[in-house]
Structure 1
């Protein structure tokens, strides 16, 4: 549901915001979502394997989690920006700005979606002893 609603908003609003045809914004949104999903799997698998080999575990403290997230986003930008630039035949800076705008949307959208989800489907409290 998260991806379906997110894609609908990105395709509709993003097309308007960036002045793109629905078809072009749909390709950007669906391919970006697919690549992000694949990158998430590959990145986390590799990160955990490297951690396991170097330190013998995969427990992550606050700063390691921050670094993990930053490296993830840098990797995703490295994948998505060239794709967007090539597909739309625009410069890398324009593609970067588009990607950042989409990423910021998903940051706010995920916050709101998860908050609403927790209100609509609250986790039942555990019985007290």
Structure 2
């Protein structure tokens, strides 16, 4: 297992590297300033962190109340993921529209593009991170 300090380093590095990539790349792809896209990425990151925390807490409480436990079957995991992303899109589309001065449809397309980017980015980032900072072996007992 990773230590708390390593997890904090991992989370901070993930967000900082993402900002360094998304700001110029988004500016170039969508024709906005890097500052606008940097602000957008930062706001999206903060909203995603808060939403994910609150959503997971609410989902687990609902499972506990409805099923008596928080174990998730495959269908429940799929429902969890779909509702998490749908809620995030619902929160982020107006923010994208506001920051970039877009209509809701255009903001939705930008948000979907950002989601696709982060799917690939997360895979690559965590793979590289695990190579650069491998999990230390558990001490023998």
Q: Normalising by the residue count of structure 2, what TM-score does the alignment of the two structures yield?
A: 0.84
Report what 1:71 is aligned to.
83
For residues 91-125 of structure 1, give each alpha carbon's deviation from its aligned partner in whole angstroms, at most 9, with x where no partner exists.
11100110011111110010011111222233345
Q: Contact 2:32–2:100 at 8 Å: present in 1 too? A: no
Q: Given the alignment of the two structures, is residue 106 of structure 1 paired with residue 115 of structure 2, yes or no? A: no
Q: Map 1:1-129 onto structure 2 (within 5 A).
A: 1-125=13-137
Q: Normalising by the residue count of structure 1, what TM-score does the alignment of the two structures yield?
A: 0.91
Gaps of 5+ in 1: none
**Could you tell me how far apart the structure 1 residues matched to 2:40 and 2:75 are?**
32
**Could you tell me how far apart the structure 2 residues matched to 1:127 and 1:84 are?**
47
**Could you tell me how far apart the structure 2 residues matched to 1:93 and 1:40 are?**
24
